[in-house]
Structure 1
Amino acid sequence: MISVQAVNFAYDGTKQLLKDISFSVQEGEIIGIVGPNGSGKTTLLKLLSRTLSPSSGEVMLQGKNIRTYSQKELAKKIAVLSQKTEESFSYSVYDTVSLGRYAHQQRFLPSWSKEDEETVRAAMQMTEVTHLQNRTLPFLSGGERQRVYLAQALAQEPSLLLLDEPTNHLDMKHSIQLFRFLQTWVEENESTVIAIFHDLNLASMYCNRIFVLEDGEMIVQDTPQHALTETVLQDVYHPIILCEPHPLHEAPIITYAPVIQEKKGPLSYKKEESRFVIEGTEAVKVMSSLHGIKWAREVVYSWDEGDYADREDILHFGLYAKPSRIVTRETKKGDIISVIMTGNKAHVSLFVHGVLADAEYFQYMMMISSLLDIQSVLIASAQYGTHADIQDFIHETMDEVRKQC
């Protein structure tokens, strides 16, 4: 359908806005372009619509350089819904949508056919603006106006639809309806949609592939499952982003963790007469082999008869015997790992001063279980700060424990 080959773009004498961009998009795909403000998303869309021309490289549309198409030929193939749609004249909704048929009119004998009328009516019905057809644009809400311009784009019957933040001004209901409709439209017409998104969850749910831009460069182009990962999104957007599996869909759900500027207090640990305690001033996300996933402020390993059932913020492990050895190590950053030996079995707890994805909780649990004879494993993280990589720390601690035992 459309391909971009080694495209660069810069306005004269200014910073390069796009750097060596290459990709191809096939018929039947919905492509999402995501990235921070200023990453080059809208500039890329303008190159695809020929509003701008690349400084170098080529944009190919159905096997031909996009520069070789006449304006009318291009309008039959590409429709654009820009981010800002401001009306210059007080057209009615019907007249505005009808303008989408311009490319299909005869050059010297403009006429309005039955096909034109049916196409306009169908586009208004699809976007739920038929009841507004006699209203003029200045008297519509932002969301209504957005749907009118989308109907105009659909009335062009393009092969490629370019959308710059199409859910701008739309509520949740109409945003979901829009992309459900676009999925059907793409499948039935073997068409293509390329859209800019700020809503990562909409992009995840409805796109076949995601293009991630940062500072004019293409960082990733892949399926939502592989493009919208915590590692990619945190590197690009910088706040703490968590990706969880959707309960009904293979695409991930993206959530944002609150940003905490500084840690209120360090984790501490202490050995008492009949228990070993690790505690902090804030709750941490804990995954353990015995208790599953929960948030807790304190973890207690005890070898007494104490009752901890009434404290929801405590995670308690009852040991069947007094520990023969307790090994505790701490990094400069504040990561803590403790190994409590009872006989030849180990209870291991790892507290991470940073961010862990769910997959990494499982990864570290499996790693620890493969290195020692384990009775229980606990992995905990406060889920703020930077992404943590502590594999070397784990291996070094397990080596030390094996030497001492």
Structure 2
Amino acid sequence: MLKIDHLSGGYGQTTIIHDVNLTIRKGEFFTLLGPNGSGKSTLFRLISGTLPPEEGRIMIDGTPLDSMSHTKRAQTIAVLSQEANVSFDFTVEEIISLGRYAFQRGLFKTLSARDRSVIDDAMQLTDTAVFRHHPFRTLSGGEKQRVLLAKALAQEPKLLLLDEPTNHLDIRHAFSLLDLLKDWQKRHDLTVFAILHDLNVASLYADRVGLIQKGSLMTTGSPDLLREEDRLSDIYHVKVNAQSHPVLPRPQILMTPGHAVHKGSFQFGKDVTIDRSDDVIHLAFDEPLRTISSGVTGDGIRWIRHFCNFHVDPHYDGVAPVTDMTRWLDHRELPVESTVGMMTAVHLADAATIRRTVDDVDIMVIATAGVGNAVDITLADQRDGLSQIGTLNVMVFLDAHFTDGALVNAMMSATEAKTKALSDLGIRDRYTDTIATGTPTDSLAIGTTQHGELTPFAGSGTPAGKAIGSVVYDALTEAIGHYLNRKQQ
């Protein structure tokens, strides 16, 4: 659809764009990304024909852009910029009708039935028909951009050029406009060339992206290019972390500001407060910990300050654990979003707490253990329901700096230690009489201070993994021992 060969151009004696080669396929949504001053707008003006090239050529469907008449360009290319300025006091319908000007015939350029049908379709899609007779100047910024999008779509272009069209819109209006555009692209096989400054928005909407720096097109590819953290950091001169969107298979970018610094040291005796009662064990850290958790609340990977293990009645039905946990946290004025919440039917006085330094890794583990419902997960299909409440809850805290991958490693190391403790203590599945591997309701949390050298692994062959394995094993052995002793009393 759009082919750019060895394109160079700029202003006066200053060349901004240097030898750019790019092919955009028909029906593709292509987004150009780069920092301010990288040449995005200059390349946009070259493609739109408002700036003549110094060298190279631009082809649209095999036709050189500079050989196309103004009418043919208007029938082929539509432009939607970030500005919503209109000099005359036109109504919304009059502005959208301008999109059909290049298709009108006759001396007086009247609208045909076909023109009116296209205009109505564009207004319907963009939800602007309600403003049909309103003066354009009376609309909000988001409404104006929808009107201008309707005008562009009314042109029925083969190629739509977007220059940061959502720059002055709030989140709702920006996503609404891009959703409309994406729908039209799919329905009409529209080719889109867009400049978007927001990397995350570009990742969500683009089929392909390009990165430009100092007037040179560095690379093009799928939105997965935005997972290349080092490349993005070099281009934007800011620390970048890429993660996956929770719903779409697209990357999302996190920027780390320069003021983000961590304290130089951490002490489990000073920088955390531990409150214990018959109802709850509550740990409150002075600074949030990077945490991976399978708790009732605070699950997944996130930053957590509060860690709670609540005692519940042995006959607790567990029908709505998240609702119950939220209510308990609200009662204590603890933020649900930054609190790991667990629950157990065992006496909290039987919890095991171990602080230790292993291979220069400072670690603290708090464990509660009820094994009345211990299960061998490999034979779980032979069980029917729960015989009684039983839960192994383990909280692991390290003064360490883990990647997300290391947090996952840490969960594996702790789970291996749990299984080993159950095996050595001879804890058996009452239904199958085989060695148990856990209980159906176990919870585990790993929290790290994110101080010190970055650690990419926490498996059994690493100092962190060894620390986790040995201390989790000892804490669970102690906690299970307390539980069994109480059962014998």
The TM-score with structure 2 as length reference comes to 0.59
Which residue of the partner structure matches residue 2 of structure 1?
A: 2
Q: Report the CA distance shift for 1:359/1:79 in structure 2 as closer, same or farther (over 3 A).
A: farther
Gaps of 5+ in 1: 271-279, 298-311, 329-336, 340-346, 367-374
Which residue of the partner structure matches residue 51 of structure 2?
A: 52
Instruction: Give the share of equivalent positions with the same residue, in percent.
Output: 34
Distance across 2 between alignment mates of 1:162 and 1:215: 21
SS in 1 for 2:35: coil
1:118-164 deviation per Cα after TM superposition (whole angstroms, max 9, x unaligned): 11122122212112122222222222221111111111110011111
Distance across 2 between alignment mates of 1:357 and 1:21: 37
Task: Give the C-alpha shift of residue 114 in structure 1.
Answer: 0.3
1:300-347 deviation per Cα after TM superposition (whole angstroms, max 9, x unaligned): xxxxxxxxxxxx999xxx999999x9544xxxxxxxx789xxxxxxx9
- Alignment root-mean-square deviation, CA: 4.6
Distance across 2 between alignment mates of 1:142 and 1:175: 11
Distance across 2 between alignment mates of 1:66 and 1:360: 53
Distance across 2 between alignment mates of 1:81 and 1:48: 13
Distance across 1 between alignment mates of 2:136 and 2:355: 78
Mapping 1:205-224, distance limit 5 Å = 205-224=204-223
Which residue of the partner structure matches residue 18 of structure 1?
A: 17
Whether 2:142 is the aligned partner of 1:96: answer: no
SS in 2 for 1:221: strand
Mapping 1:38-117, distance limit 5 Å = 38-106=37-105, 108=107, 110-117=109-116
Mapping 1:198-237, distance limit 5 Å = 198-237=197-236
Q: Report the CA distance shift for 1:321/1:260 in structure 2 as closer, same or farther (over 3 A).
A: closer
Which residue of the partner structure matches residue 126 of structure 1?
A: 125
1:34-62 deviation per Cα after TM superposition (whole angstroms, max 9, x unaligned): 22222222222111111112222221111
SS in 2 for 1:118: helix
Which residue of the partner structure matches residue 301 of structure 1?
A: none
Rg (Cα) greater in structure:
2
Q: For 2:264, give the aligned amino acid.
A: P
Distance across 1 between alignment mates of 2:354 and 2:119: 79
SS in 2 for 1:45: helix
The aligned length equals 356
Which residue of the partner structure matches residue 144 of structure 1?
A: 143
1:221-262 deviation per Cα after TM superposition (whole angstroms, max 9, x unaligned): 2211233543343333333443322222101233344x2537
Mapping 1:232-311, distance limit 5 Å = 232-257=231-256, 259-261=257-259, 263=261, 265-267=263-265, 283-285=288-290, 293=301, 295=303
Q: Report the CA distance shift for 1:267/1:157 in structure 2 as closer, same or farther (over 3 A).
A: same
Gaps of 5+ in 2: 269-284, 306-337, 341-350, 364-395, 413-420, 422-445, 467-489
Distance across 2 between alignment mates of 1:188 and 1:262: 45
Q: For 2:265, give the aligned amino acid.
A: L
Which residue of the partner structure matches residue 331 of structure 1?
A: none
Distance across 2 between alignment mates of 1:268 and 1:173: 42
Q: 2:404 aligns with which of 332, 348, 358?
A: 358
Q: Report the CA distance shift for 1:326/1:154 in structure 2 as closer, same or farther (over 3 A).
A: closer
The TM-score with structure 1 as length reference comes to 0.70
Task: Give the C-alpha shift of residue 364 in structure 1.
Answer: 11
SS in 2 for 1:38: coil
Q: Report the CA distance shift for 1:12/1:295 in structure 2 as closer, same or farther (over 3 A).
A: same
Q: Is the 8 A contact 2:104 2:112 kept in 1?
A: no
Q: For 1:285, give the aligned amino acid.
A: R
Task: Give the C-alpha shift of residue 206 in structure 1.
Answer: 1.6
Task: Give the C-alpha shift of residue 101 in structure 1.
Answer: 0.8
Q: Is the 8 A contact 2:31 2:193 kept in 1?
A: yes
